[in-house]
Amino acid sequence: MLRGILRMTILGVVTLVLITAGYLGGFGISRQLFPPVSPPDGGAPAEWKADFPVFWEAWNYVHQDFYKTDIDDSALVNGAVSGMVRALGDPHTAFVDARRAAISDSDLQGSFEGIGATVEMREGRLTIVAPIKDSPAERAGLRPDDIILQVNETIIQNMDVTGAVSLIRGPKGTPVKLKVQRAKQAPFDVSIVRDTIKTSFVESRMIEGTPFAYIRLNDFGATAPEDLRAALQQLMAQNPKGLIFDLRRDPGGYLNAAIDVASQFLKPGQTVLIEKRKDGSAQEFKAKGGGLATNIPMVLLVDKGSASASEIVAGAIKDYKRATIIGVTTFGKGSVQNVHSLSDRSQLRVTIAHFFSPLNNEINDVGVLPDVVVEISEDDIANKRDPQLDKAIELLKSQTGATSFQFPAPAQYLAFGT
């Protein structure tokens, strides 16, 4: 029997955002387990048995003629399988080697072992977006926009991003030395002792000077639904007049988490998504009861980094007109994969279905279009302006008649999942 089969919605990211303690590259994983699926019986299909010797012919010529002697046969096999699935022409059907599979499997569980810094690849250079609060990276003095040039003795410029992250990760209590470039300063070394990093799936606060609540979901991790519910309970106790739900740069997560998150804003029984398979069958997934924010005036923020599970929620909210969506068109990743764990702990991810919004709108390669298009320019980023959030506040003010509001105590910034 083939073991370890999960249903996954997997994102092919444009900008890879990750935690060095655990790679947050945007894999959207469902917690729904399929029964074990048997591998194909009978060995090689008869129609291609005659052609498979071509592989071994090529294999033998490589070993016979290649000028280097240290050929890595495992790498050749991995490359062959990767090429096979790439030939299908589906970017989300993929072979993932054991190292990458181990990293992605730990993505959304809420804790990792590493240094604790959010990073992204910029022009081939691993760049720190921000250190996580109270992490080894923060205590070591790492700053946003620092560039990691080297990990221990390995230069990582133009390295595969997952490979670079795997070098920075490591067991709690072990040291790692980074060579860092900061602005125009000379590169310098930073030694950091790795630790267990607990990630925050949800950030929430009351927006100062307004009666509006703000919640950001960083990804649809294992504890994201309960973290979101806890944040909503605290915020709703303050009687906000409106809610801003931020899914920008949220690459997705567990499918079940998407349904649970959508259920906080939709009425019980409303369709969250429709899943369609190649045999023409379709399955609807419904919102559950007990939502804490089903009636409050609401704005949803999205951008091109909102993908997969984020698009499930955005599509449902749009179709039911539950909120005004502000931002730019989302990523457009609307497919579902079966993930097969192979004997060497690598994974084969095979697209089995596409998902659609409740009104049967295609998401894959299309995305979810906002109701109000507001872009963020490079100048906005440089000057720390957020016109999308500003527009959301403006819209809620017009909808609710609110102007300004003073809370009896300073607004609290709440972070859950830590």
Tell me what the mean pLDDT of segment 298-314 comes to: 94
Q: Of residues 219, 260, 303, 319, which has the active-site annotation?
A: 319
Q: Of residues 107, 333, 357, 391, which has the active-site annotation?
A: 333
- Dist. CA 403–CA 242, nearest whole Å: 12
Half-sphere exposure in the Cβ direction for 204 (13 Å, CA): 24
Instruction: State yes or no: is 134 an active-site residue.
Output: no
Residue 250 — pLDDT band, cuts 50, 70, 90? confident
Residue 24 is predicted with a pLDDT of: 32
Least Cα distance to 29 among 4, 11, 9 occurs for 9
Tell me what the mean pLDDT of segment 25-38 comes to: 31
Residue 342 — pLDDT band, cuts 50, 70, 90? very high
Determine if residue 43 is left, alpha or beta; phi over 0 gives left, psi from -120 to 50 gives alpha, anything else beta.
left
- Dist. CA 184–CA 8, nearest whole Å: 43
- Dist. CA 337–CA 8, nearest whole Å: 5
- Dist. CA 321–CA 199, nearest whole Å: 32
The third-level CATH classification (topology) of the domain covering 202-416 is 2-enoyl-CoA Hydratase; Chain A, domain 1 (3.90.226)
CA dihedral 285, 289, 295, 296 (to 10 degrees): -100
Question: Are 3 and 341 within 8 A, CB to CB?
Answer: yes
CA 184 to chain centroid, in Å, comes to 32
Mean pLDDT estimate for the chain: 83
Instruction: State yes or no: is 179 an active-site residue.
Output: no
Question: Are 285 and 276 within 8 A, CB to CB?
Answer: no
Any idea which of 51-55, 263-267, 321-325, 368-372 has the lowest mean pLDDT?
A: 51-55
Residue 249 is predicted with a pLDDT of: 85
Question: Are 55 and 80 within 8 A, CB to CB?
Answer: yes
What distance separates the 2 farthest-apart alpha carbons in the chain? 78
Residue 215 confidence (pLDDT) above 60: yes
Q: Any idea where the domains of the chain sit in the sequence?
A: 111-198, 202-416
Instruction: State yes or no: is 319 an active-site residue.
Output: yes
Confidence (pTM): 0.75
Q: Which numeric CATH code is attached to 111-198?
A: 2.30.42.10
Q: Of residues 104, 204, 308, 335, which has the active-site annotation?
A: 308
Higher pLDDT, 345 or 243: 243
The 3-state DSSP class for residue 179 equals strand
